[in-house]
Structure 1
Amino acid sequence: MRIVTLPQPDDFDAWRDAARGLVADATPPEDVVWQVAGADTDLFAAQAEPPPPAPPGFSVPRAFLDLARNAILSREPERFALLYTLLARLRFEPRLLDDRADPLVRRLDRIAKDVRRDIHKMRAFLRFREAPEGDGEGAATRYVAWFEPDHHIVRANAAFFVNRFASMRWSILTPEVSLHWNGEKLEEGPGAAKTDAPDGDPVEEVWKTYYASIFNPARVKIGAMLKEMPRKYWKNMPETALVPELIAGAQARESGMIETARAAVGGNSRIAWEALRDEAKGCTRCPLYKPATQTVFGEGPVDAAMMFVGEQPGDQEDLAGRPFVGPAGQLFDRALGVAEVDRTRTYVTNAVKHFKFEQRGKRRIHAKPGAGEIEACRWWIEQEQMLVRPQVTVALGATAARSLFGRVVTIGRERGRAMTLPEGGAAWITVHPSYLLRLPDKTQVEGEFARFVDDLRKARATIG
C-alpha cells in the first residue's frame, strides 16, 4: 500500500507529481491511499511514505489537465483516487475522455462542473465592504469580503480578483483560508469567521438604490433566480435584502410598468445613473486616476436605443469632463450627421474613464490603455449597459470591443456585421474616429470616412 500525503487540498501540482511517479512505477490505483496533511488521515497514515521521484513527463490529453485542475478543487473525498484511476487508464485508452458514457469520465465531469459553478458564484456574489484602517481623514481604506465556498476554490480564484481590483486594498475572508492584497503583493492567511468582516458600509445604500432601479419585475422567474443565486449567498449581498419586497410587489409593478413604462423607467434609471456617475467620480480602481484631471463618465439619455463606447477620454475631454468633445469627437459628430444619427438621442461613453497620457513638455500625448486598466473599468461599462439597456451598442475601436466582449477582438475580422454581447444585446464594431485623423493620405481619409459612416448607418438600421 502506498500512502501519498498532499500539502493542501487544492494542490494540483503536488498531486500531478505524485501521480506521475506512481504511474511510472506501475502502481495500481487500488494500492494508493491519498490524504491531505493536517486533515483527518486514514488508519494507514502511520505507513505514509514519500511518493516515488517524479520521472520525465509523459503526454496526456489537454482535456485531462483541464478536467483535473478543476476536479482537484472539489470537496469530493475520492477526487484524488478517481483522477489517478483515470490517468492510469489513459495510458492504455488514449481516447477514453471521448467516451461520455464511461461512468468514471461522467462522474469526474460532474465534479469539475460543480467546481466551475462554485468559481462563478464566488465571482458573481462576493461583495466587498469598506473597512477603514485607523481613525481620521488620512486613514487608509481596505475593502473586506466574506464568502463561504462549497469547494476549495479560493486560491484558484485569487488571480481574478487581483486583476479586477488591482488598485484596491482588499481582503477576502473564508472559513478555511484568507487572501490579502495590498495593491502590489498577494498574501495568504488562515481562515476567518464571518464576524471578522464588516456588516455594511455607506456605499451599500447607493448600491441598493441602483439595484432597485434596475430590478425588472416583468422578468422575474423565481425558480430560475434561485437556481442561479441560491439563498445561501443572500446574507452576504446587500441588494438581496430588497429581493423579497421586490418580488412581492412584482405583479403590481409589472402592470404599472406596462401603463407608464417610459416615465417610470426613465425617472428611476436617471436617479440610479446619477448615483453611479457620482460614485465614478471617486474611482481609484486603477492608477490612471492619479494624473488625470477628473473622471469622464458617459452622457446621454438613460433610455437611449443606441450606445457608443470609445476608448478613453483625450486631452480636451479630460479638461471638459465630457466624452468626445475634442478633434475625434468633432469628426464623430460629423459622421453621425451624415449617417442621420442624432447624438442627443444616443448614449456616449468610454471603455476607460480616465485620460492616460505621456507628458512631453507642455503637451499631454495620448497613451493606449493596458489590459489591466481596461479590465478595471469594465465594471462601469457593465453598469451603464444595465441601466441604459440600449438596443444596439457600437464599439469604436479595439479597446472598446475588448471591454464589451471581455477578450481581444480584431476589428478587420469582425467589422461590418451584427454581433451579440456576452450578456445579450446587439453590437457592432467599427474604428475609432481618431483612426481617421491619423491617416496621412486625403483620398484614404475620404474612403475610410465613408466606410465609417456606412458602419453607423448599418448599426442604426438594426434599431426597432
Structure 2
Amino acid sequence: MKRVLIQPDFEAWREAARDALREGYAPEEIDLQDAAVASTLALSFELEAGPTGVATTQPYVSKSFLDDAAMVAVHRNAGRWNLLYRVLYRMQGNRNLLKIETDSDVAEMNRLASQVRRDLHKMHAFVRFRKVMRPGEVMLTEHRPEVLVPASGAADDDGEMRALVLVTPTPFGVAKSEIEQCEPEVPEAQLAADDCEHFVAWYQPDHRILPLAAPFFAERFAIMRWSILTPDASVSWDPVTKELLWSAGVPRESAPDEDELETLWRSYYSSIYNPARLNPRAMRSEMPVRYWKNLPEMTLLPTLVTQSQKRVEGMVAKQQEKTSAAPFVPAEHTVTAIGAALPACEGCELYKHATQAVGGVGPAHAKMMVVGEQPGDQEDIKGLPFVGPAGRLLDQTLEELGIDRSELYVTNAVKHFKFVQKGKLRLHENPRLSEITACKPWLLAEIDAVRPKLIVCLGASAAKSLLGGTFGLMKQHGEVLSTPYAERVMATLHPSAILRARDDASRSQMMEMFKADLAKAALVMAG
C-alpha cells in the first residue's frame, strides 16, 4: 500500500488524488494520511506490488462533488482524505454516484460536509470583535503570541509607532507583510487615522474552517482593520490593500480582553431580547455551551431568563390596552344586529372625526362579499359604501360583466372615514395597520353573518386585513386563497387606484386587470 501525507489543504489533496488516479491506484491500495494528525509514519513508502486499479488521465469531477469536498477537506476527521478519494475513484465508473444518498461513502461525505457547513454558520454568528486602540497589543507568530512589531522609522510627531509588521511563515501564502500606515493614501478606505483602530476576535471552531469563513468577514467588514485568531490559524484584513494576511494559530490568551464596545453590545442585546420567545432547549441547540465563553451577551442571559415571565406579563398587559372594536361588536352576528350596533363604535380614534360609521349593505346571505378599504368622502356623508367615484366605476364594471350588485354584500375593512382637511376639502388618508386591526372584529362579524362563498378584497389594505401583511397585491391578484376567515378569498385593485392612474395607458392596463379578476370571481361564485 502506498502511503502519502496530505497537508490540511484541499488543493494538496486534489494534487495527490490526481496523481493517484493517473497512476491507477484503487482506494484500497493507497492511504492518504492527514499530516496534521500525529502519526508514527513520517515518510511515504510503497510495497513491491504496484497499482492494479484503472488509470484515469482525465478524471470526471462534478461541481457538487467539489463543493462538498471543499467542506469535508476542513473537517477534523482524520479519514476524510481517503473518503474523498474513494468517492472520486468510484465516480469515474458511476457519474450518478452522489445521487445515491444511501451509499455508505456518499452518506458519510454528506454528513461531514453538513457538520462543516453548520460550524461555518456558527462562526459567522458567534465571532465577537474587540477594539484595540494602539499597536503593541496583539501579534501573531508561528510559535507563540508576540506584540505587534513597529516598522523601522514609522513614528509620528509624538514618537508613537504607526506602521506594523507581521513576520510569520504560514501555510496560506503570505510569510511577511506590512500593515499600511493608519492614515491611508486611499480616501475611500475610511480608516480612523487618529486612534489606529484594530478589531480582534478569538474563536475556536470545531473544524479548520477559517479559510472558508474569512471572505465573509472581509466583505461584511471591508472598511475595518480586523484580525481573527483561532488555534489552527489566524487571519488579518488590511482595508487599504484589500488583502487577507494569514499567520499561525494562537491560544485564547493572545486575544485582547473586554472593551467598551461590549457594554454597548450588551445594552443592544438586552433591548432586542424577546422574553415571549424564550425557549431554553432551542437556545442550547442553536447556541451550544461551548460557544458561550466567546459571547459577551451571555453574562446577561441568566438575568434576562429570570425576568422573562414578568416581562411577558407586562407585554400582554400593554397589548390588552390597545384599542379595539371588539367590545362594541354584538354577540349576535346578524346583518341587522351588526347594523344596529355599529353607530356606537368607538374602537379607535377615527370615530371622533368621521361623520358616521359606514356599515355593509346587501343580502344577508350573499354568495359574494366585496370588501373595500374604508369609506370615502361621499360614503361618509351618505352612510353607504361605494357611492362615490370609485363606487360608480365598480358599478359600471359589474354591469359590463353581468354581475348584479344588488346580489352582493358590499362593505369596508375600516368603518370610519380617515382624511386630512385641506381647506374645504377632505382628502383621503390610508388607515394605519393598528386602525385596520382595531376595526377587524366588525369585518369578521359580517363574514360570520353573511357566510359568503367568495370574498373579493379591493385594494392592498383590505387584502392585508384578511390575507396578512406579506400579501403582495400586484403579484397575487386574482389568486383564490383559503384563510381562517373564509374558504375562498381573492384580491384585486381598488377602483380608486384606477382613477388615480398616472396616464391613459396605465389606466387601461389596470382596468383590464380589474375586469379579469372580477370575471374570475363571478365564475367562482357561480361554482
What interval of TM-score do these two structures reach, taking the shorter chain for normalisation?
Answer: 0.5 to 0.7
Q: Are 1:122 and 2:123 counterparts? A: yes
| Contact 2:2 2:44 (8 Å CA) reproduced | no
CA shift for structure 1 position 245 = 1.4
Tell me whether 1:4 sits opposite 2:4 in the alignment.
yes
Q: 1:46 to 1:216 in 2, by over 3 A?
A: same
Q: Secondary structure at the match of 2:250?
A: coil
1:167 aligned partner: 223
Which position in structure 2 is the counterpart of 1:223? 281
Instruction: Name the CA shift for 1:28/1:131 in 2 (closer, same or farther; >3 Å).
Output: same
Q: In the alignment, what sits opposite 1:58?
A: 59
Partner of 1:196: 254
User: What do the CA deviations read for 1:229-286 (whole angstroms, capped 9, x no partner)?
Assistant: 011111111111111111122222222221134899xxxxxxxxxxxxxxxxxxxxxx
**Retained in 1: the 8 A contact 2:59–2:92?**
no
1:38–1:100 Cα change, 3 Å = closer
Q: Would the alpha carbon gap of residues 445 and 249 (structure 1) be closer, same or farther in structure 2, given more than 3 Å must change?
A: farther
Partner of residue 251 from structure 1, selected from 275, 287, 309: 309
- Deviations 1:124-149 (CA, angstroms, capped at 9, x unpaired): 00011111124799220001111000
The alignment status of 1:109 with 2:168, answered yes or no, reads: no
SS in 2 for 1:133: coil
CA distance in 2, matches of 1:192, 1:109: 31
* 1:362-407 CA distance string (max 9 Å, x none): xxxxxxxxxxxxxxxxxxxxxxxxxxxxx85899xxxxxxxxxxxx
Q: Is the helix fraction higher in 1 or 2?
A: 1
Q: How does 1:384-399 map to 2 (within 5 A)?
A: 392=469
Code of the residue aligned with 1:416 in structure 2: it is K
Q: 2: CA distance between counterparts of 1:149 and 1:140?
A: 28
Shifted more, 249-258 versus 239-248: the winner is 249-258
2-structure distance, mates of 1:133, 1:341: 54
Equivalents in 2 of 1:76, 1:196: separation in Å?
27
2:270 is the counterpart of 1:178: no
**2:210 counterpart of 1:212:** no
SS of the equivalent of 1:195 reads helix
Whether the aligned pair in 2 keeps the contact of 1:143 and 1:171 (CA below 8 Å) is yes
Distance 1:449 1:92, change over 3 A: closer
Aligned counterpart for 2:300 among listed residues 238, 242, 245 = 242
1:416 paired residue among 475, 490, 493: 475
Please say if 1:95 is aligned against 2:96: yes
**Structure 1 340/194 Cα, relative in aligned 2: closer, same or farther at 3 Å?**
same
Q: Which range moved further: 12-21 or 71-80? A: 12-21
Structure 1 portions without partners, runs of 5+? 265-336, 346-390, 396-413, 419-441, 455-464
Partner of 1:26: 24
Deviations 1:48-76 (A, max 9, x none): 89xx9x97543233322222111111000
Is the CA contact (8 Å cut-off) linking 2:4 and 2:44 kept in structure 1?
no
Q: Does 1:340 align with 2:430?
A: yes
Considering Cα pairs closer than 8 Å and 6+ residues apart, tell me whether 1 or 2 has the greater RCO.
1
Determine the C-alpha separation between the residues in 2 that align with 1:444 and 1:42.
84
What is the number of residues matched between the two proteins? Answer: 291
Report the secondary structure of 2:43's partner residue: helix
Secondary structure at the aligned position of 1:172 is classed as strand
**What are the Cα deviations for residues 22-54 of structure 1, in whole angstroms up to 9, with x where unaligned?**
1232201122122344642352625389xx9x9
Quickly say closer, same or farther: Cα 1:64–1:42, change in 2 above 3 A.
Answer: farther
What's the offset of the Cα at 1:446? 6.4
How far residue 94 of structure 1 moved from its aligned partner, in angstroms, is 2.2
After superposition, what is the alpha-carbon deviation per residue over 1:394-437, rounded to whole angstroms, capped at 9, x for unaligned?
99xxxxxxxxxxxxxxxxxx96359xxxxxxxxxxxxxxxxxxx
Shift of residue 221, structure 1, vs aligned partner: 1.0
Long gaps (5+) in structure 2: 136-159, 163-192, 323-426, 436-467, 478-501, 515-527
1:225 partner amino acid: M
Q: How does 1:288-327 map to 2 (within 5 A)?
A: none
Contact in 1 for aligned 2:21/2:56 (Cα 8 Å): no
Q: Deviations over 1:102-156 (max 9, x none)?
A: 2221111111111000000000000111111247992200011110000010011
When normalised by structure 2's length, the TM-score is: 0.49
What is aligned with 2:363?
Answer: none
**In the alignment, which residue of structure 1 is the partner of 2:12?**
14
- Per-residue CA deviations over 1:328-386 (Å, capped at 9, x if unaligned) read xxxxxxxxx877266999xxxxxxxxxxxxxxxxxxxxxxxxxxxxxxxxxxxxxxxxx
User: Per the alignment, do residues 204 and 87 of structure 1 end up closer, same or farther by CA in structure 2, a change over 3 Å counting?
Assistant: same
* 1:233 equivalent in structure 2: 291
* CA deviation vs aligned residue, 1:419-458 (integer Å, no higher than 9, x gap): xxxxxxxxxxxxxxxxxxxxxxx7489669989xx9xxxx
**Equivalence for 2:43:** 45
- TM-score, reference length from structure 1: 0.56
Match of 2:212 in 1: 156
What amino acid does structure 2 have at the position aligned with 1:187? L
CA distance in 2, matches of 1:115, 1:338: 56
Q: For the residues of structure 1 that align with 2:46 and 2:232, how far apart are their CA atoms?
A: 25
| In structure 1, C-alpha distance between the alignment counterparts of 2:296 and 2:283, rounded to whole Å | 16
Contact 1:173–1:197 (CA<8 Å) still a contact in 2?
yes
Which has the higher mean CA deviation after the structures are superposed, 66-75 or 165-174? 66-75
Equivalent-residue separation in structure 1 for 2:509 and 2:291 (angstroms) = 50
Return the alpha-carbon distance in structure 1 between the equivalents of residues 277 and 206 of structure 2.
Answer: 29
**Who is 1:144 aligned against?**
200
Distance, in Å, in 1 between the alignment partners of 2:508 and 2:84 is 56
Superposed CA deviations along residues 181-215 of structure 1, whole A, max 9, x for unmatched, are 01021100111121221222112222111111111
SS for the counterpart of 1:208 is helix
Question: Would the alpha carbon gap of residues 48 and 236 (structure 1) be closer, same or farther in structure 2, given more than 3 Å must change?
Answer: farther
Pair 56,92 (structure 1): closer, same or farther in 2 beyond 3 Å = closer
Letter in 1 for 2:31: V
User: Which amino acid in structure 2 is aligned with residue 159 of structure 1?
Assistant: P
Matched-pair contact (CA < 8 Å) for 2:227–2:235: yes
Q: Does the CA-based 8 Å contact 1:34-1:80 persist in structure 2? A: yes
Q: 1:392 to 1:193 in 2, by over 3 A?
A: farther
